[in-house]
A and B are shown apart, each in its own frame.
Chain A
């Protein structure tokens, strides 16, 4: 089946540092999404991308939909302690919310 390769698996950074994580696939996705999961909670949508090449920001978060439609990255600027959590990329081959495929996540730890 389709898979998303998400890297890095984990990151340990100092408060104030910028963070970058990415997701690649061997097949095309028509929608790319980034979710964050806090401990004991379900994933929450951070950013949705619908067009190849699209660059979208949400506060300190910026994400891009790769031109080839096979990759996406998420940047977090000036990290703060509440950025701690697991970040998941997700893609939909058909677009929309059908049969979302999730990456295995990037666990972010921010040291104050």
Chain B
């Protein structure tokens, strides 16, 4: 158990819909990262937050947005969903951004868009 909690574990929805994925980081970790894992693209970095502020952005689509709340939990919002958005979405956390690359990953949220 990494200590990172993600909900929901599975989500099935239709094209055009909007979903919200939630992540609670490990106790004491200030930095939260979102990754998308698909079969053909592997693990792709989406976005990083540190202590409530956006820290780094990766290949995140404009239809996607995220935020980190004062209690440090984070939400990833995916809107106008397309079939290609079906993937595993991982949240990871670390103590601080420069913490040696040791990210602790949650078990992921599997999104299926039909």
A positions within 8 Å CB-CB of B: 1, 31, 33, 40-45, 48, 50, 88, 90, 92, 95-105
Cα of A104 to Cα of B106 in the assembled complex, Å = 19
* B103 and A100 contact, CB distance less than 8 A: yes
* B101 and A97 contact, CB distance less than 8 A: yes
Partner of A42, one of B58, B59, B92: B92
Cα of A97 to Cα of B101 in the assembled complex, Å = 4
Q: Quick check: is B107 within 8 A (CB to CB) of the other chain? A: yes
Cα of A107 to Cα of B48 in the assembled complex, Å = 27
Partner of A33, one of B59, B101, B107: B101
List residues of chain B with CB within 8 A of the CB of A100.
33, 45, 101, 103
List residues of chain A with CB within 8 A of the CB of B48.
98-99
List residues of chain B with CB within 8 A of the CB of A92.
101
Query: Which of A31, A45, A88, A103 has the most chain B CB atoms closer than 10 A to its own CB?
Result: A45
* A43 and B56 contact, CB distance less than 8 A: no
A99-B45, A103-B42 in contact; A1/B59 too (CB < 8 A)?
yes
- For the complex, count residues of B whose C-beta is within 8 A of A: 29
Partner of B94, one of A44, A90, A97, A105: A97
Q: Quick check: is B97 within 8 A (CB to CB) of the other chain? A: yes
* A97 and B100 contact, CB distance less than 8 A: yes
Q: Would you mind naming 25 contact pairs between A and B with Cβ atoms under 8 Å apart? A: A33-B101, A40-B107, A41-B107, A42-B106, A42-B107, A43-B103, A45-B101, A45-B102, A45-B103, A48-B100, A96-B97, A96-B99, A96-B100, A97-B31, A97-B98, A97-B99, A97-B100, A97-B103, A98-B56, A98-B97, A100-B33, A102-B42, A102-B43, A102-B44, A102-B45
List residues of chain A with CB within 8 A of the CB of B45.
99-102
A-B pairs, top 6 by smallest CB distance, nearest first, are: A42-B105, A96-B98, A102-B43, A104-B42, A33-B101, A97-B101
